[in-house]
Amino acid sequence: MTSRDMAGSIGGGCLCGAVRYRVDGPLEPISICHCGQCRRAHGYLGAYSAAAPDRLTVTDTAQLGWYRSSASAERGFCRQCGSPLFWKPAHGRHISISAGSLDQPTGLVIERHIFVADRADYEVIDPQAPNHWPGGEAP
Ligand SMILES: [Zn+2]
Ligand SMILES: [Zn+2]
């Protein structure tokens, strides 16, 4: 739990400001994702918090685009500046929110690294560090 879990609302948006959103209610700690899809979409690592879908309100939607990146998820991005914003799984139990798109300060902490087994060959990670999982969940 972080202070943000108990807090009210936090804003966020893309680089150019065309897409803005607000999250009312608790945000999950941050997961750093080392998967190949996040690598291409983010340029290196994906960093995501998450919230219940009904807690997210996209207030400026005109440039919000969705790309179906797999059978089980879509990625939301700004059509104007290309910023990655959301990762929405088909099961709908939560929506992941790009940590870098959140306004500062977030009050969040990095909790875990996921899909470490899929990391790029130039990534150096500390194998002794906790919460480095080979896949999307704890082994
Ligand atoms: Zn933008
Ligand atoms: Zn990923």
Which residue range forms the structural domain that includes residue 103? Answer: 3-118
Higher pLDDT, 137 or 46: 46
Mean pLDDT of the chain: 90
In a domain, 46, yes or no: yes
Give the model's pLDDT for residue 138: 66
In 3D, which of 30, 29, 27, 31 has the Cα closest to residue 6?
27
In a domain, 134, yes or no: no
* Dihedral (CA of 67, 93, 40, 77) sign: positive
Q: Which ligand is nearest to the CA of 39?
A: 2
- Would you say 103 and 12 are in contact if contact means Cβ atoms under 8 Å apart? yes
User: 111 Cβ partners below 8 Å, 6+ apart?
Assistant: 28, 29, 30, 31, 131
In a domain, 108, yes or no: yes
In the structure, what pLDDT confidence band is assigned to residue 125 with cuts at 50, 70 and 90?
A: confident
pLDDT tens-place string over residues 62-72:
999 999 999 99
Q: How far is the CA of 82 from the centre of ligand 1 (A)?
A: 6
Q: Count the domains in the chain.
A: 1
Residue 52: which CATH number? 2.170.150.70
Q: Which ligand is nearest to the CA of 119?
A: 2
DSSP one-letter code for 77: E
User: 103 Cβ partners below 8 Å, 6+ apart?
Assistant: 10, 11, 12, 13
pLDDT tens-place string over residues 29-56:
999 999 999 999 999 999 999 999 999 9
pLDDT tens-place string over residues 94-121:
999 999 999 999 999 998 999 989 999 9
In a domain, 24, yes or no: yes
Q: How far is the CA of 63 from the centre of ligand 1 (A)?
A: 7
Give the pairing type, strands 20-24 and 56-60.
antiparallel
Q: What percent of the chain has pLDDT over 70?
A: 91
Answer whether residue 136 shows pLDDT above 90. no
Place of tokens 């470490």: 116
